[in-house]
Amino acid sequence: MGIFPMAESQDNPTVFWVDPEIRGIVPLDTFHVSKSLRKKIRAGSFQVTCDTAFERIMRCCAEQSETRAETWINDDIIHAYTELHEYGFAHSVETWQDGELVGGLYGVSMGAAFFGESMFSRATDASKVALVQLVARMKHGGYQLLDTQFVTDHLKRFGAIEVPARRYLELLEEALNQKAEFSAVLPKDVLEEKLEAVFALSSKD
């Protein structure tokens, strides 16, 4: 329906629906990965997994940090999305370094749309690597729409744009009428192929 839930704060039990007039999306055909980030991913600086620590990812996204004094993720939202994950509708991408969880993201998958909810990073580029891995899996699975809710400076680096709500709903309807498959585990050669396909979109810089 084009709406999503948020809470006033982590400790506030109230959950409300958000329906902004301007929506953020990342067009998959113009997704941009910087040269330095491509180099870091090819070097294997992080280990990346999917759907192995969903609730941990959510709770890390809900933590306060130097750049995020408040969070919109409360316990009700964590429980609801964890249940969606158990039913196969919500997924996480985790980045690890030396066995420690240092970044990741989570979101909801419906039809050929993926609704990115939140991400976190405890190491430089950890959340960026997770996002690139997500897009590689989306392209492999036949997705059409990556919804980011809002556009941040962080997402602008990857080509995120703002679209009016009416246009967003058109894109959403198209995506929901198609089928896509989220692959949490991909053979190494397939994943590398998809990552290179994503990198090729940025090969001009």
Please say if the pLDDT value at position 173 is more than 90. yes
Task: Tell me if 205 is assigned to some domain.
Answer: no
Give a yes or no: residue 2 inside a domain.
Answer: no
Range of the domain at 195: 21-200
**pLDDT of 71 strictly over 90:** no
Q: How far apart are CA 39 and CA 41, in angstroms?
A: 6
Tell whether 10 is covered by a domain. Answer: no
Residue 53 lies in a domain: yes
Residue 132 domain-assigned?
A: yes
Give the strand pairing for 90-97 and 47-50: antiparallel
Q: What is the CATH number of the domain that holds 90?
A: 3.40.630.70
- Number of folded domains that form the chain: 1
pLDDT of residue 117: 94
Report yes or no on 138 lying in a domain: yes
Position 16 in a domain: no
Chain segment 125-163, per-residue pLDDT in tens: 999 999 999 999 999 999 999 999 999 998 999 999 999
Examine the pLDDT at 65 and tell me if it is beyond 70. no
The reported pTM is 0.93
The predicted structure's pLDDT at residue 204:
60
